[in-house]
Amino acid sequence: MKLYNSLTRTKDEFVTHAPKRVEMYTCGPTVYHYAHIGNLRSYIMEDVLEKYLRWAGYDVNRVMNITDVGHLTSDGDTGDDKMLKGAKREHKTVMEIAKFYTDAFFADCQKLNIRKPDTIVPATSCIDEFIRVISALIEKGYAYEAGGNIYFDTSKLEKYYVFNDFSEEDLAVGVREGVEADGNKRNKTDFVLWFTKSKFEDQELKWESPWGIGYPGWHIECSCISMKNNGEYLDLHCGGIDNAFPHHTNEIAQSEAYLGHEWCRQWFHVHHLNTEGGKMSKSKGEFLTVSLLEQKGYDPLAYRFFCLQSHYRKGLMFSWENLDNSAQAFEKLIARVARLSPDGEAVRDEKYLALRESFKAAMDNDLNTSLAVTAVYDVLKADISDASKLELIKDFDSVLSLGLLNRAPKPENKPEELPEEITALLEQRRAARKEKNFALADEIRDKISTLGYTVEETRQGTVVKRRQS
């Protein structure tokens, strides 16, 4: 299998330290708010990668952290702790916020058929481990204390900027922009491993440490959680492309300084889901969630289908029109699969094997999911029995996870059974929804309701029922 590696900037043959075993790490969510569908694009593509590796015969150990402390609003070690900000916003404690949004994250994942990682570790459960590794880094001369905080000394490294897709200048912007310089840092790229002195006096969660009461930086969390649960040699590290710098760069710096050898060979970065205003982000306030898609009548798996139709290494532009197109194509695909007759036995003849091979070739070529989806259409068109088609689609869907076999197609609409007045209103409502005039659509729904009918958006589409009196 060939997979693009951000470290080497080429499509490399995928290799692992132990034969047929993948130690895989994923940066988990910062649980101060709902995940937006941009975050979930990253998790969908990582899920497909994990499932494909399993499909290809690898035993995968997938580890994910939950960031419930230490992620500041600026990746340059300044700003508020995002968790504290979330807690203040909702007048709750940090732990209440963390629990609520962790549960919400996994509920969204479930709706999108994203498998739960084998090991999930909240950062707050690993404080002793962070302290142990930071102490070792100080001992080895890679970290220093200044102004009460512990910093990683990037000048001690032979090479700091490992993801050299960008110029050093561009990369440094993330550290500089809108950030007052931290006078304690010896080098502008040094980063905090442990905070004791900072302006966040009201930081809710703090722990005892050899350097005083404080809390860990964000980057050290992922290094420690991975080294503890994946071992010293990591095969595959995943995340969104915005995490390549400084987060992943810092993870590599501290892990390799601690271990004294190469840590992770293969870096998989998913590019952004964008809107017209640029990258979808939580800090911008306006962002789309899975629940919002559901409220608007979309099946979450139609969003998964939308993501799979494009390559993970290209930015994906979100618009309602684009999503509508995918949702319609998805419905048609479900309906076509549903028409296949399950009778008879699959025959694994040459045609069958060639179809399976084309799916494999697509995925082996840097996870080309859109070609893999095309392979499903090729199966539907092929001159083989329905039973063979169903077996192949089931096989492909164990990776794509679109629920192609367990979804009922949209029920036939029978508007003739409804009074004319209601059908006319439904038509107006459909038009309003198409124009994204949801206020008008809701108004029409209320009107239909006063006439004794309920309108509900379900996964199978709009369902209209006469209210039982």
279 binds, among Zn ion, ligand AMP, none (CB under 5 to 8 A by kind): ligand AMP
Using CB under 5 A, pick the residue from 83, 121, 131, 222 that binds Zn ion.
222
Q: Identify the CA nearest to 314 among candidates 275, 274, 277.
A: 274
The strands making up 316-317's β-sheet, listed across from edge to edge, are: 278-279, 273-275, 316-317
Instruction: Compute the least distance from the CB of residue 67 to ligand AMP, in Å.
Output: 6
Nearer to ligand AMP by Cβ, of 35 and 390: the residue is 35
Q: Does 109 bind ligand AMP (CB under 6 A)?
A: no
What is the distance between the alpha carbons of residues 211 and 436, in angstroms, rounded to a whole number?
A: 55
Q: Does 281 bind ligand AMP (CB under 6 A)?
A: yes
Q: Which of residues 17-46 bind ligand AMP (CB under 6 A)?
A: 27, 29-30, 38-39, 41-42
DSSP strand pairing (273-275 vs 316-317): parallel
Q: Does 174 bind ligand AMP (CB under 6 A)?
A: no
- Which amino acid appears at position 3 of this protein? L
Nearer to Zn ion by Cβ, of 238 and 422: the residue is 238
What is the distance between the alpha carbons of residues 150 and 135, in angstroms, rounded to a whole number?
A: 10
What is the distance between the alpha carbons of residues 5 and 438, in angstroms, rounded to a whole number?
A: 43
Nearer to ligand AMP by Cβ, of 65 and 255: the residue is 65
Q: For 326-361, b where at least 16 C-beta lie within 10 A, e where not — what string? A: bbebbbebbebbeebeeeeebeeeeebeebbebbbe
Instruction: Compute the least distance from the CB of residue 242 to ligand AMP, in Å.
Output: 5
Question: Contact, 307 vs 345, CB < 8 A?
Answer: no
Q: Which stretch binds Zn ion (CB under 5 A): 39-47, 162-170, 217-225, 442-450?
A: 217-225
Nearer to ligand AMP by Cβ, of 30 and 154: the residue is 30
Round the CA-based radius of gyration of the chain to a whole number and report it: 25
What is the distance between the alpha carbons of residues 218 and 287, in angstroms, rounded to a whole number?
A: 23
Nearer to ligand AMP by Cβ, of 235 and 242: the residue is 242
Question: Contact, 154 vs 253, CB < 8 A?
Answer: yes
How buried is 322 (Cβ within 10 angstroms: 0-12 exposed, 13-18 middle, 19+ buried)?
middle
Q: Does 310 bind ligand AMP (CB under 6 A)?
A: no
Q: Which residue is nearest to ligand AMP (CB)?
A: 240
Q: Does 37 bind Zn ion (CB under 5 A)?
A: no
Nearer to ligand AMP by Cβ, of 272 and 304: the residue is 272
What is the distance between the alpha carbons of residues 103 and 350, in angstroms, rounded to a whole number?
A: 46
Beta bridge pairs of residue 59: 21
293 binds, among ligand AMP, Zn ion, none (CB under 5 to 8 A by kind): none
Q: Does 242 bind ligand AMP (CB under 6 A)?
A: yes
Establish how many alpha carbons lie within 13 A of residue 39's alpha carbon, considering only the half-sphere containing its beta carbon. 21
- Binding residues with ligand AMP: total (CB under 6 A): 18
Nearer to Zn ion by Cβ, of 222 and 333: the residue is 222
Using CB under 6 A, pick the residue from 70, 217, 239, 246 that binds ligand AMP.
239
- Binding residues with Zn ion: total (CB under 5 A): 2
Q: What is the DSSP string of 375-429?
A: HHHHHHHSSS-HHHHHHHHHHHHHHH---SSS-PPPPPP-GGGS-HHHHHHHHHH
222 binds, among ligand AMP, Zn ion, none (CB under 5 to 8 A by kind): Zn ion
Q: For 241-263, b where at least 16 C-beta lie within 10 A, e where not — what string? A: bbbbbbbbbbbbbbbbbbeeeeb
Task: Print the binding letters for residues 372-411 with ligand AMP: x by CB under 6 A, - otherwise.
Answer: ----------------------------------------
Task: Print the binding letters for residues 60-99 with ligand AMP: x by CB under 6 A, - otherwise.
Answer: -------x--------------------------------
What is the distance between the alpha carbons of residues 425 and 23, in angstroms, rounded to a whole number?
A: 56
Q: Which stretch binds ligand AMP (CB under 6 A): 17-25, 88-96, 153-161, 238-246?
A: 238-246
Instruction: Compute the least distance from the CB of residue 460 to Zn ion, in Å.
Output: 39
Kind and range of the H or E run holding 446: helix 438-450
Q: What is the DSSP string of 181-236?
A: --TT-SSTT-EEEEESSSS-TT-S--B--TT-SBEE-HHHHHHHHHHHHH-S-EEE
Nearer to ligand AMP by Cβ, of 38 and 70: the residue is 38
Q: Which stretch binds ligand AMP (CB under 6 A): 142-150, 151-159, 274-282, 297-305?
A: 274-282
Kind and range of the H or E run holding 269: strand 264-270
Q: Does 272 bind ligand AMP (CB under 6 A)?
A: yes
Q: Which of residues 249-268 bind Zn ion (CB under 5 A)?
A: none
Q: Does 122 bind ligand AMP (CB under 6 A)?
A: no
What is the distance between the alpha carbons of residues 272 and 316, in angstroms, rounded to a whole number?
A: 6
Nearer to ligand AMP by Cβ, of 30 and 229: the residue is 30
Q: Does 236 bind Zn ion (CB under 5 A)?
A: no
Kind and range of the H or E run holding 464: strand 461-466
Q: Which residues bind Zn ion (CB under 5 A)?
A: 27, 222
Q: Which residues bind ligand AMP (CB under 6 A)?
A: 27, 29-30, 38-39, 41-42, 67, 239-240, 242-243, 270, 272-273, 279-281
